[in-house]
Amino acid sequence: MTTKEELRIVNAGEEIEKYTREDIGNKAIGLMYLYNLQNKYGFKVPEFFIISTDFFKFFSREVNLEKKINDLKKLDDEYYIGPMYANVHIQELFESFGERFASFFRSYFAKLSNIDRIKKEIKEFWEKNKLKFHLEEIDLNLLREENKILSKIHNLIYRSSSPLEDDKFSFAGVFLSEVVRMNIFSEPIDNVALSYVLSSLWSPYAEYYIRKHGLQNKKREMAVIIQRFSESKYKGFVYCIDDQIIIKYKEKNSKNYSIVRYSKDKLNKFENPENYEKLDRKKLTELYYITSGLMREISTSSMNLPFTKNFCLEFLLDNQGTFNLVQIRNVPEGLIKNVIRISEYLPKIDKSKIICHAKRGLEYFSVGEISGPAINLLDYNFDKGYHKKIKKLDQMYKGAIYIVDPHGAFGIINRKEVNPHSRQVLFHMLTPNKRGIIVCSSDDMWEHLHNLYLEDNTFLIRVVIKEKDFALRKIKTGEKISIYSNGNEAIVYYP
C-alpha cells in the first residue's frame, strides 16, 4: 500500500524500466520512450510530467471512492454536457483531487507552464514602466515588449493515461484530454480540467465501452500526463504496417486528410494531391525517415514495450517546422488485416444495381464486402424521444448499414451535444448492432472514432451528396444493400 510519502510524480527523461503500466499507463510509457529518442532522430516531444496512479489509489482509499461513486451515480445530472463527461457530482468529487494534492503538484504545473516566472517578469516590467503607461500615447514598443514576455507562457494539455488504455482494447477517444489555455491571471493548476479527465473513467461513454467489452471487473485507475500544448500547422498519424509506412495528415483548419503511402523505401502512392503541395516532399521524407528509425529501434529493443513493430504515431508539425510526436500505440489488428488487402480491384456489378460510387482514398481503411438492411437517417424526423426510436431501429434491423448526414438533421439531434465528437459518440452508443455506416459529408466529420470502428469491425465509407435527389436518399429503411470497398474506393449497390 502506497503511503503519502511514497507518492510519485514522474518526469520526462526518466528511465522507462522503473515504471509499469499499472504505475503510469501505456500511453505515458510510450511518451517516455519517444522523449528519450527525440535527439537521436530529430523530432520533438513537448515537455511533460506524469501524475502516477499512486495519487489516484491514495485518493480512492481516503474518500472510499467506489462507494462514493456508486452513491453519486444515483443523483440526477442537471448539468449534463455530453456522453464524454461524467455525472457533474462525480466531477465535483474529483475537483477535490487537485486541491488535496496541490502541495505536491503546484511547482510542477508552474514550471511547465512558466506561469510564476512570467508573473514575476511582468510585474517587474510594469513597475519599471508604470509612468510611461500613463502617457496619452502609449509607446507601441512597450506593448511589443510586454507581449513578448507574455508569449513565454505555455498552454497545457491534461491527458488521460489509464492502465486500461492501449492494452487488449485501445480505449481510443474514450477518456478525456483537456487543453488548458494559460494567461497572466491563471492559477498553475486547473482543478476543473483535471476533474474532467479523472472522472471520465465514469462517463456514460466509458461505462458503455467497459460494459461492451466485459471489463466491469477491471480496476479503474488513472495516471494523468500534463504536457505543454503545441499549436500546429499540420497534424496527423503515421501507420507502420509490415513494410509499409502510411502518413495521414491535414492542415490545421482543413476538413480533409491527405494520405501518402511508402512501401519498401519508395513513395508508392499518394491520395488527395491537392494538399500534397502544402506539405512538401522534403517534410514528408523527413517524417518517413524519423518513422523508419523508430521502427528499427523497436524491432531491436530488449525492453518490454507496450507496442510492436506495427505501431501508430500521432504527430503535429509546429509553427517552427519541427515534427512533434505526441503518442505511440499499437495499430489495431483490424487495420493491419485491411491494409494488407488494399487493392485496385472492384467487382463488375450490373449498372442497374449500383446506387453510388465513393472515392475516398484510404480514409477509413475499410476493405471487403458487407451486406445488411439499410437504416436511412437522411430525412429522419429527429423529434423528441429519438433515443428510443434509434435504439428500436437498431434492435429491429441487426447488422444494419446506417446512412447519415452529420450536417443535416442528425447533426442537430441534441443541442446538448456541444461538438461533433459528442454526437458521434452518442450515435455509436445508440447503435451497438450496426455493421456499417455511410457518411454523407464532404469533410472528415467522423475521424474521431475510426479506431473503434476497426475494433468493432464496422465498415465506414464517405460519400459526397451533390444533388437533392441523391440516390442514397431514395433507399428505404429495411431494404437490403451492400458495400464493396477495396481500400481506395467503394461501391454501394443492391445485392
Is the residue at 354 inside a domain? yes
Contact of 455 with 463, CB cutoff 8 Å = no
Clarify whether residues 55 and 171 are in a common domain. yes
Domain of residue 257: give its range: 232-331
The pLDDT confidence band at residue 29, using thresholds 50, 70 and 90, is very high
Of the three residues 228, 253, 279, the one that is the final residue of a domain is 228
Q: Which of 129-143, 234-248, 286-300 has the lowest mean pLDDT?
A: 129-143
Residue 354, phi then psi, degrees to nearest 5: -75, 130
pLDDT tens readout for residues 231-274: 898 999 999 988 788 888 888 877 677 788 887 656 555 555 44
- How much is the pLDDT for 469? 53
- How much is the pLDDT for 273? 46
Of the three residues 283, 308, 331, the one that is the final residue of a domain is 331
Clarify whether residues 315 and 363 are in a common domain. no
User: DSSP code of 442?
Assistant: S
- How much is the pLDDT for 114? 96
pLDDT tens readout for residues 416-435: 545 667 778 888 888 999 99
Radius of gyration of the chain (CA): 25
Q: Which residue has the higher pLDDT, 38 or 75?
A: 38
Clarify whether residues 313 and 263 are in a common domain. yes
The pLDDT confidence band at residue 412, using thresholds 50, 70 and 90, is very low
Clarify whether residues 181 and 249 are in a common domain. no
Highest mean pLDDT among 66-70, 222-226, 249-253: 222-226
Clarify whether residues 211 and 273 are in a common domain. no
Is the residue at 447 inside a domain? yes
Phi-psi region of 368 (alpha: psi -120 to 50; beta: other; left: phi over 0): left
pLDDT tens readout for residues 123-133: 898 888 875 55
- How much is the pLDDT for 364? 54
What's the whole-number mean pLDDT along residues 218-230? 96
Q: Which residue has the higher pLDDT, 384 or 148?
A: 148
CATH number where 50 lies? 3.30.1490.20
pLDDT at 40 over 70: yes
DSSP string for residues in 373-405: EEEE-TT----TTHHHHHHHHHHHSTT-EEEE-
Clarify whether residues 238 and 211 are in a common domain. no
Nearest 5°: the CA angle 469, 371, 359 is 55
CA distances from 403 to 199, 406, 446, 459, 481 (A): 33, 10, 13, 12, 11
Contact of 461 with 486, CB cutoff 8 Å = no
Is the residue at 363 inside a domain? yes
Nearest 5°: the CA angle 482, 487, 492 is 20
Is the residue at 120 inside a domain? no
Is the residue at 351 inside a domain? yes
Grid cell, residue 22, equals: 499499472
Highest mean pLDDT among 357-371, 399-413, 418-432, 442-456: 418-432
Q: How many helices (H) and strands (E) does the chain have?
A: 15, 18
What's the whole-number mean pLDDT along residues 158-168? 92
Residues with Cβ < 8 Å from 293, sequence gap 6 or more? 37, 40, 41
Closest C-alpha to 97, from 206, 209, 199: 199
Task: For residues 346 and 485, give the distance between their C-alpha atoms in angstroms, rounded to a whole number.
Answer: 8
Contact of 169 with 210, CB cutoff 8 Å = no
- How much is the pLDDT for 126? 84
Is the residue at 163 inside a domain? yes
Residues with Cβ < 8 Å from 231, sequence gap 6 or more? 318, 319
Clarify whether residues 196 and 314 are in a common domain. no
Element (H or E) spanning 126, and its range? helix 115-129
Grid cell, residue 452, equals: 473503434
Clarify whether residues 368 and 470 are in a common domain. yes
pLDDT tens readout for residues 433-470: 999 998 887 666 666 677 777 778 888 888 876 655 57
Contact of 250 with 258, CB cutoff 8 Å = yes
Clarify whether residues 223 and 236 are in a common domain. no
Is the residue at 269 inside a domain? yes
**For the CA atoms of 206, 207, 212, 217, what is the dihedral angle to 10 degrees?**
110
Clarify whether residues 160 and 273 are in a common domain. no
Mean pLDDT in the chain? 85
- How much is the pLDDT for 168? 82
Of the three residues 275, 302, 331, the one that is the final residue of a domain is 331
Residues with Cβ < 8 Å from 480, sequence gap 6 or more? 371, 372, 373, 374, 494, 495
Contact of 68 with 93, CB cutoff 8 Å = yes
Identify the three-state secondary structure at position 363.
coil
Closest C-alpha to 9, from 47, 45, 54: 54
Number of domains present in the structure of the chain: 3
Clarify whether residues 294 and 370 are in a common domain. no
Clarify whether residues 390 and 450 are in a common domain. yes
- How much is the pLDDT for 306? 87
Is the residue at 180 inside a domain? yes
The residue type found at 281 is R
Element (H or E) spanning 189, and its range? none
- How much is the pLDDT for 447? 64
